[in-house]
Structure 1
Amino acid sequence: MKGYWLVLGTDVTDADAQADYGRLWAPIAARYGARVRRGDDAPALVEAGDKSRILLVEFESLALAKACYDDPEYQAARAFALRAATRELVIFAGDLG
């Protein structure tokens, strides 16, 4: 069964921090085989409250999704994501096709 990160975020308020996060995230994503689902695969944000962005990141397993989140390099990158915008991240298992 695959593992996922579901990220719900507000508008980016610090573009530099978001750019730093993206730069740091790319090699981590490659190492864990993370795939950001886009286009028709992307979830729709229909009841958002204060959130304006949604991102679904797919991993080959829940174990990889958790390991990536716990990776010290990801935790360092995460600091930039949290500077860039307010967000929640949910890790779950499933088969979303």
Structure 2
Amino acid sequence: MKGYWLIIGTEISDQEAQAEYARLWKPIGEKYQARSNPTKEPPLLVEARDAGRMVVVEFPSLEMAKACYADPAYDEARRFALRASNRVLLIFEGDLGEPE
């Protein structure tokens, strides 16, 4: 069964921090075989309060999703993500299906 991160965040308030997060994320995502927004139809963000965006990140397994989050390299990247916007990150197991 696959592992996922669901990230729900406010609009980006610090573009430089977001760009640095993206730069640091790229090799981390590759290391853990992560795919961002893997489904053909993204989840709908409803009853969002302050949230303005949502990202789904798919991993080959729940163990890889957890290992990625625990990786010291991601800890560094996460600091930039948290400067860029307020967000909530959930880790869960499931199968959202393959895009057509």
Q: TM-score normalised to the size of structure 2? A: 0.93
**Aligned partner letter, 1:92:** F
User: 2:39 touches 2:96 (CA, 8 Å); kept in 1?
Assistant: no
Q: Secondary structure at the match of 1:30?
A: helix
Shift of 1:44: 1.4
Identify, as 1 or 2, the structure richer in helix. 1
Which residue of structure 2 lines up, in the alignment, with residue 58 of structure 1?
58
Q: Percent identity?
A: 58
Distance, in Å, in 2 between the alignment partners of 1:72 and 1:79 is: 11
Query: How many residues in Structure 1 have an aligned counterpart in Structure 2?
Result: 97
Superposed CA RMSD in Å reads 1.1
**TM-score when normalising by structure 1:** 0.96
Q: Could you report, residue by residue, the CA deviation over 1:28-84 in whole angstroms, capped at 9, with x for unpaired residues? A: 000000000157242111221110000000000000000000000000000000000
Q: Secondary structure at the match of 2:40?
A: helix
Q: How does 1:86-97 map to 2 (within 5 A)?
A: 86-97=86-97
Instruction: Extract unaligned runs of 5+ from structure 2.
Output: none
